[in-house]
Structure 1
């Protein structure tokens, strides 16, 4: 059975969801995109993931700011505003009768190509917009169990050729890292930066706890995680020392606790790295405290949004 940070409880409603493609709705079986789509041909696309809690799209502004930054980075022009895209997302949620415990994936590619090519000038349509909503509640059992990591030989790249902060469809290097981890018997991959310091995981951001301090990477070579930023914010608000710094596997193996962060799973504890146990509990007390503080930020956001 697959185990990892995206473990979700089974929900039979997902077989009947309606998926949005360029303003139209399709069943899961009929939701298709052209083989000439830029994303399919060359990975020329960007994406964002949102959570719907209690009728509120949590941290929406942060997610849309990241999406628009990604578009600017790859030179993609949107024919819609943030408000207009938000309205489309709400249409998707309404037609699917969704209110709580929902994960929304927004995928935008440059469009349809005239012929297979990476040249953006051969794009003959506007951007393709796909919105996939699913009823997804994170598995509490998986969180209590924690995950194991394996340090991949695949490095997080330098920002001068593919900035790790960019949420793009080109994820092959992360898939390669995860394949290595799976073959090594771990759940997910830990990735180092080009200098050999700990950067991030294949799909989540990475933190350790040492001597009541929270450590995470500098942010130069890791994903621009919204949850990562919220954990740092929660630490600042609660007078918890949180350092964004370079550190190595030497520090990781001697950590008191470790955890990863992501939009879907929130904070997920790490129990082993490269076969070495981390801490003495599956779900450490400090990690649990930080998870509670993160959830308080979500609750506050929901209250302020209503």
Structure 2
């Protein structure tokens, strides 16, 4: 049975969460937006996923950088500056009594339209900002056993079609990749770039380990992953050879280890790609080392943010 990296054990506390919508905290059952909202009509918006540790969003500055850059790219005014949006995040966490084991979905759409049409000029109100916090952590069994990947036919496209650097609500290519991988009995879809080199997965970033070296794609055809960048940085700080480069599926199949990265689950081992077992099929020494180094980076970021909040 296929298991998504984003699966979690249901937490009954999520039934009573309060969700922030344009300045109001609403019970889950009442947290709705208009059917004329740009996000519902067209997927017109940007978003971020945030993990909460010790009461603080991990790598918040990097996430806000990406959110505001994406909004500028689509000429959308979020309507809140970074300070106000950060305050809204903390207000939402406080209202729900949340401190650890929490994942937040921060979503911004262009707002309500007077008619369901793509032209941004028919938007009649301010941006819609939604903050959904949930008690949610990755399943320990997924982290322990690793993922099975399947290379899908859906490619990561050129930036002149839809820039993969844009973390937009429009994710249909990734959804299609996910469907194909699931139908093949895998957990996640491995996606190639237009030239046939390995690019990324449908919801995570992909790495391999070969002879003590860590490889990942050039990043030209994938989202600027925040966990990805922290893992690359951790490698460099620890003196681990790390390369952003083109590589093929043949080089993946011959790798010693493989893993994926993402905000929700961090560093997750890959045990199989297209039926080829990675190493001995269990998390390898490099993956375990990088998991520890990533945890250290998270701890440092949270300590820094806690100090800022007290200052």
TM range (shorter): over 0.9
Q: Secondary structure at the match of 2:246?
A: coil
Structure 2, unmatched stretches of 5+, are: 307-311
CA distance in structure 2 between the aligned counterparts of 1:305 and 1:80, rounded to whole angstroms: 20
The offset of 1:30, in angstroms, is 1.8
* Residue 304 (structure 1) shift: 2.3
- The one-character-per-residue Cα deviations of 1:4-37 (angstroms, maximum 9, x if unpaired) are 2112233111111011111112222221111101
Aligned residues of 2:272 and 2:281 also touching (Cα < 8 A): no
Aligned counterparts of 1:165 and 1:293: Cα–Cα separation in 2:
26
Q: Distance in 2 between matches of 1:278 and 1:175?
A: 25
Q: How many residues align?
A: 306
Deviations along 1:141-197, one digit per CA (max 9) or x if unpaired, are 111111101101000011112111111010111110111111111111000001110
Out of 137-146 and 44-53, give the one that drifted further: 137-146
User: Residue 224 of structure 1 corresponds to which residue in structure 2?
Assistant: 224
Q: CA deviation at 1:303?
A: 2.0
Aligned to 1:102: 102
Query: Displacement, 1:77?
Result: 1.4
Q: Determine the structure 1 residue equivalent to 2:5.
A: 5
TM-score normalized with structure 2 length:
0.96
For residue 240 of structure 1, give the secondary structure of its aligned residue in structure 2.
Answer: coil
Structure 2 contact 3–186 (Cα < 8 Å) conserved? no
TM-score (normalised: structure 1): 0.98
Q: Distance in 2 between matches of 1:107 and 1:75?
A: 16
Matches within 5 A, 1:240-251: 240-251=240-251
**Secondary structure of 2:160's aligned partner:** coil
Question: Which residue does 1:88 correspond to in 2?
Answer: 88
* 1:1-306 paired onto structure 2 within 5 Å: 3-306=3-306
CA distance in 2, matches of 1:21, 1:125: 14
* Structure-2 separation of matches of 1:36 and 1:161: 26
SS in 1 for 2:87: helix
CA distance in 2, matches of 1:158, 1:4: 27
**CA–CA separation in structure 1 for the residues paired with 2:171 and 2:78:** 22
CA–CA distance in 2 between the matches of 1:59 and 1:121? 34
Contact 1:148–1:271 (CA<8 Å) still a contact in 2? yes
Distance verdict in 2 for CA 1:209–1:60, change over 3 Å: same
Q: Distance in 1 between matches of 2:99 and 2:186?
A: 34
Q: Give the aligned CA root-mean-square deviation in angstroms.
A: 1.0
**Following superposition, which runs of at least 4 residues in structure 1 exceed 6 angstroms of deviation?**
none
Q: Distance in 2 between matches of 1:115 and 1:228?
A: 39
**73-82 vs 236-245, which moves further:** 73-82
- Asked whether the 8 Å contact 1:204–1:223 carries over to 2, the reply is no
Change (3 A) 1:35 1:148: same
